[in-house]
Amino acid sequence: MPELPEVETVKRGLESAIVGAVISKVTLRRRNLRAPFPENFEKLLAGQKITKIARRAKYLLFHFDSDVVLIAHLGMTGRFSVVVKGKKEELETHDHVVFDFSDGRKLVYNDTRRFGVMDICDKSEVATHKLLENLAPEPLGEEFTVNYLEKALSKRETPIKPTIMEQKIVVGVGNIYASEALFMAGISPLKPANTIGKKIPLLISCIHDVLNAAIKAGGSTISDFADVSGDSGYFQHSFHVYGRAGKLCSKCGNPIISIRQAGRATFYCEKCQK
DNA sequence: CTCCTGTCCTGCCGGC
DNA sequence: TGCCGGCAGGACAGGA
């Protein structure tokens, strides 16, 4: 379930832990996640030194000194753990990939539901990689402006909530933070996307606020950074509506309700969100 | 182009 | 007690 803040937290943790490390061996314990691993996955990465770790949307980008880039998505349940030398010698059921480092440490990728994906490409091909080329602007980046969002929503008559979860509109806003941002902005999740008009600047600032607060919370409350996954890494203590059906709205005291939109649960307050 | 549905996967939880 | 259905959900494929 990692959304952008959780992926950003993982990225920062990995950055401080394994940049500079050299991969001595790669072991795939199965040949696919959501998609097959590329041919020669192990050979392409063996012997490579990690030079940089970046993030685009919910993708982690591991850069290596040979100009090869590993693109990784955590899907729903993906989790990276850095294992210190001598610890946790036995692997667990859903440990699908093991990167051994020359210093004796290991990076283990565990993914129960296998919605994650990994691929490798050349540094020069990252921007045009199939997984990345059609992604919308980053929600915390400079391109995510009022003008941009007005234009992006102008022809969209579908409800705003599933629309802001689309990676072609803005990346990184998943089911949880979509509900939270709309609550903060006082916008009904049912409102057609092209009718939120004057509330666009407010929605943008609420998306900024909820993501920034979650990143901040991730950085300060998650001690085992790399184990961020699913519920453990979430900004859950601060949810106003997500998962709170039947509980009382923190603003007005009315019960929070749960509906389904595009096959996903949406939580909101009918009184505060119009 | 927009929009909608189905699909992938495992674990958990409620109902009977 | 065990089985079964439904749900969780990111993001793509494919069809209308």
Q: Is the CB of A114 under 7 A from strand C?
A: no
Helix (H, G, I), strand (E, B) or coil at A105: coil
Task: Give yes or no for a contact between A212 and A173, defined as CB atoms under 8 angstroms apart.
Answer: no
Delimit the CATH 1.10.8.50 region(s) of chain A.
146-268
**Is the separation of the CB atoms in A143 and A121 below 8 Å?**
no
Give me the CATH topology for the region A146-268: Helicase, Ruva Protein; domain 3 (1.10.8)
Burial A204-227 (b: 16+ CB within 10 A, else e): bebbeebbeebbebbeeebeebbb
Task: Quote the CATH superfamily of domain A4-125.
Answer: MutM-like, N-terminal (3.20.190.10)
Alpha-carbon Rg for chain A, nearest whole angstrom, is: 20
Tell me which residue has tokens 């990692």. A2
What's the gap between Cα A125 and its chain centre?
22
Each residue of A69-89: pLDDT tens digit? 999 999 888 889 888 888 777
Nearest nucleotide relative to A132: CA against C1' = C11
List chain B nucleotides near protein: any atom < 7 Å from a Cβ: 1-11
Instruction: Fill in the DSSP letter of residue A204.
Output: H
Find the Å distance, CA of residue A34 to C1' of nucleotide B9: 9
pLDDT of residue A219: 53
A264 CA vs C13 C1’ separation (Å): 19
Q: What is the pLDDT of residue A226?
A: 52
pLDDT one-digit tens code per residue, A213-265: 888 887 544 444 555 444 444 555 678 998 888 889 999 999 999 888 888 88
Active site residues of A: 2-3, 58, 264
SS3 of residue A214 by DSSP: helix
A113 touches strand C (CB under 7 A): yes
Residue A34, CA: closest nucleotide via C1'? B8
What's the CA gap between A173 and A227, in Å, rounded? 21
Instruction: Provide the pLDDT for residue A231.
Output: 42
Q: Which nt is closest to the CA of A175, judged by C1'?
A: C9
- In angstroms, the CA of A145 and the C1' of B13 are apart by 42
Q: Residue A229: what pLDDT?
A: 44
CATH 3.20.190.10 residue ranges in chain A? 4-125
Helices (H) then strands (E): counts for chain A: 6, 10
Bases of chain C below 7 A from a protein C-beta are 7-13
pLDDT in 10s for each residue of chain A, 274 residues = 678 888 898 898 899 899 999 999 999 999 999 889 998 999 999 999 999 999 999 999 999 999 999 999 998 888 898 888 887 778 888 899 999 999 999 999 999 889 899 999 999 999 889 899 889 999 999 999 999 999 999 989 999 999 999 999 999 898 989 999 999 999 999 999 999 989 999 999 999 999 998 888 875 444 445 554 444 445 556 789 988 888 899 999 999 998 888 888 899 999 999 9
